[in-house]
């Protein structure tokens, strides 16, 4: 068996040119948690040749219910470190760039200077997310963004759409409002969201003090489907594109 044999079944479906396109592609994944971790898993297993891994956080025990990279053995370890080690085990030939950083306005230009062909936005904090989306659109870098996966239970309601078409998603609503004020065309933004109308008990949300994010209930199945849906979208896009 050769290294190429590990992607044989993908080659059967996407063709030799599709696999070559993926090998020559660079994908950046920003956020390696519940959604981003599963997106990374699928992207790495597709044979993408170069990955840029971006996160600033470490794993804690509350991540284990929904994050593929979170294990008892990885608690307290950097998400970028664990993600890079896993990718190396999946595809030793994949080139890795690790960015252990919190994304903000000041470092976006430096980050995107790595020239990704596609970006997967799995950030769950509003301001960094909007900054990233706005900059990606201005620079003409293709991307797909994850909206809110927490508090959702209906897997059949998850889909891809333009941000302007999203419904029943508080995160998407907030992102739309903020980006509109910045003059960003939300009709051009691809995203994954759930159209499920949530009717949940108050126990599903833990209110935190001002300045801290509330803790929201979430399922491993839903966050995984969000990440895998984004990865599938990117894989099919890149497999069809011509690469130099």
Q: Is residue 43 part of a domain?
A: yes
Q: Taking 80 as the threshold, does the pLDDT of residue 4 lie above it?
A: no
User: Considering the domain boundaries, does residue 162 fall inside one?
Assistant: no
* φ, ψ at 67 (rounded to 5°): -110, 120
**What CA–CA distances, in Å, run from 48 to 11, 15, 42, 166, 169?**
12, 14, 10, 29, 31
Q: What is the reported pLDDT for 5? A: 87
What is the per-residue pLDDT for 215? 74
Q: Which pLDDT value is given to residue 198?
A: 79
Which pLDDT tens digit goes with each residue over 134-165? 999 999 999 999 999 998 999 999 999 999 99
Is the pLDDT reported for residue 108 higher than 80?
A: yes
* pLDDT value of position 34: 97
Query: What is the average per-residue pLDDT within 87-116?
Result: 96
| CATH number, residue 141 | 3.40.50.720
Judge whether residue 242 has pLDDT over 70: no
Q: With respect to residue 189, please indicate whether it lies within any of the assigned structural domains.
A: no
- Distance (Å, whole) CA 79 – CA 20: 29
User: What digits encode the pLDDT tens for the residues 189-224?
Assistant: 999 999 999 766 666 665 666 666 777 788 999 999
- For position 212, what pLDDT does the model report? 66
Q: Is residue 75 part of a domain?
A: yes
Helices 79-90 and 34-46 cross at an angle (nearest 10°) of: 20
Q: Which residues contact 32 (CB under 8 A, 6 or more apart)?
A: 40, 53, 54, 55, 57, 69, 79, 80, 83, 122
Tell me if 179 is assigned to some domain.
no
How many residues in total does the chain contain? 244
- Which pLDDT score, from 0 to 100, does residue 236 have? 97
Is the pLDDT score of 83 beyond 90? Answer: yes
On whether residue 229 sits in a domain, the answer given is yes
| Arithmetic mean of pLDDT over the chain | 93
CB of 179 closer than 8 Å to CB of 221 = no
Per-residue pLDDT reduced to its tens digit, 157-187: 999 999 999 999 999 999 999 999 999 999 9
The pTM score is 0.93
Q: For residue 131, what are the domain limits?
A: 3-146+220-240
Structural domain contains residue 120:
yes
| pLDDT above 60 for 105 | yes
**Is 125 within the bounds of a domain?**
yes
CB 50 within 8 A of CB 4: no
pLDDT for 164: 97
Beta strand segments in 18-173, E: 26-30, 50-55, 95-100, 118-121, 143-146, 158-162
What's the confidence (pLDDT) of residue 241?
A: 76
Distance of alpha carbon 223 from its chain centroid, rounded? 10
Total domain count for the chain? 1
Give the C-alpha separation, 124 to 31, whole Å. 8
């Amino acid at each position: 068996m050769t290294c190429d044999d590990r992607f044989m079944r993908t080659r059967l479906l996407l063709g030799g040119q599709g696999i070559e396109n993926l090998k020559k592609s660079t994908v950046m994944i920003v956020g390696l948690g519940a959604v981003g971790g599963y997106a990374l898993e699928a992207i790495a297993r597709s044979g993408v040749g170069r990955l840029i891994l971006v996160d600033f956080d470490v794993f804690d025990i509350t991540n284990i219910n929904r994050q593929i990279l979170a294990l008892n053995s990885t608690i307290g370890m950097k998400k970028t470190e664990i993600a890079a080690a896993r990718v190396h085990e999946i595809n030793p030939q994949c080139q890795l760039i690790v960015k252990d950083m919190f994304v903000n306005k000041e470092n976006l230009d430096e980050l995107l200077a790595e020239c990704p062909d596609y970006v997967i936005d799995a950030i769950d904090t509003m301001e960094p997310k909007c900054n990233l989306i706005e900059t990606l659109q201005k620079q003409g870098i293709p991307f797909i963004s994850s909206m809110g996966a927490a508090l959702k239970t209906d897997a059949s309601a998850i889909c891809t759409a333009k941000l302007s078409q999203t419904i029943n998603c508080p995160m998407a609503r907030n992102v739309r409002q903020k980006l509109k004020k910045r003059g960003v065309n939300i009709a051009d933004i691809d995203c994954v969201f759930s159209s499920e109308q949530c009717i949940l008990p108050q126990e599903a949300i833990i209110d935190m003090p001002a300045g801290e994010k509330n803790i929201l209930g979430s399922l491993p199945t839903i966050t995984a489907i969000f990440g895998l849906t984004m990865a599938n979208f990117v894989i099919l896009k890149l497999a069809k594109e011509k690469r130099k």
